[in-house]
Amino acid sequence: MKLPSYAAAPVAVALLACVTGASGMSVAQAADGKGLPSVNMEATVKAAQIDPRRSDDELTPGAKVGVLLVERALRDRRLLDAKWVDGYFGSTTVAAFAKFQRSLGLTGLAANGLPGKASLTRLGAGRFKVTHVIGPGGRVSSGGVVIDTRTRSMLAEAKRLLGRDLVLLQGSYNPGGDPTSAGTHDGGGVVDISVKGMSSATRTAAVRALRRVGFAAWLRNPDQDDWPWHIHAAAINDTDLSSQAQHQVGDYYLGRNGLSRRGPDDGPKVTIRTWEEYRRR
């Protein structure tokens, strides 16, 4: 039966309401991300590494808006208590995000509490869109060890800046490897580099080059923990980082040396950037 014209308008309004959310966006708009707020993945991942290591409540610059959107989504899924929705991606938020990742059936490094592309996109479905997307890339062999393609690109640029090769002693994705590494190499983004044949000045220059392209890097020596001289480097914002390596990256931003005693940073001072920030500079 055809509705009279005077009844058609109310029905049309009702139908429109059925496909429009509380924010006023249609289902179609939500599906393609139009009109949704944005979560900057680079800034959010950075906060998830730094904030758990802070002793204060200072927020990671540029991350507050995105972190709040993530925390509200976790709250609405009953994974995060409302009191922790504060723009601070601390250990409680990391744990909540890891729980969300596990709820998706993810395991291992894919459920390490750092927002990966897949899990962050799933969390934001209909709520926010993800911008400045980053990822570690696939795993590759380099110099007899395994690293990811993002790390390989970073190392290649560090070598170019340094003007010499860098020999890898230990790569990434190496659980059960050197026990003195304390789990930092269990995930992606972390390498140990030989300093054999390098002068003191060249060692410092190597650490500086690594830091410039986005590594949290330090020169290690036998006085620190009975290990041989080498450079330890963790790629900032590698979403495959183990929890131990995440802590090292956070400590690097806070001016510490990445060791368990959290002493002052003893490396060359550079402007701290991620790989992506370095490429955009």
209's enclosing H/E stretch is: helix 200-212
What phi-psi label fits residue 88: left (phi over 0), alpha (psi between -120 and 50 degrees) or beta? beta
Structure tokens at 141: 């062999």
Look at residue 230 in the predicted model and tell me its pLDDT.
96
Look at residue 195 in the predicted model and tell me its pLDDT.
97
Look at residue 8 in the predicted model and tell me its pLDDT.
42
Q: Which DSSP category does 145 fall into?
A: E
Kindly give the parts of the chain with pLDDT less than 50: 1-31
d(CA 53, CA 29): 38
Q: What is the pTM of this model?
A: 0.86
Look at residue 179 in the predicted model and tell me its pLDDT.
66
Look at residue 33 in the predicted model and tell me its pLDDT.
57
Look at residue 149 in the predicted model and tell me its pLDDT.
98
Look at residue 57 in the predicted model and tell me its pLDDT.
87
Measure Cα distances from 87 to 48, 195, 281 in Å: 11, 41, 27
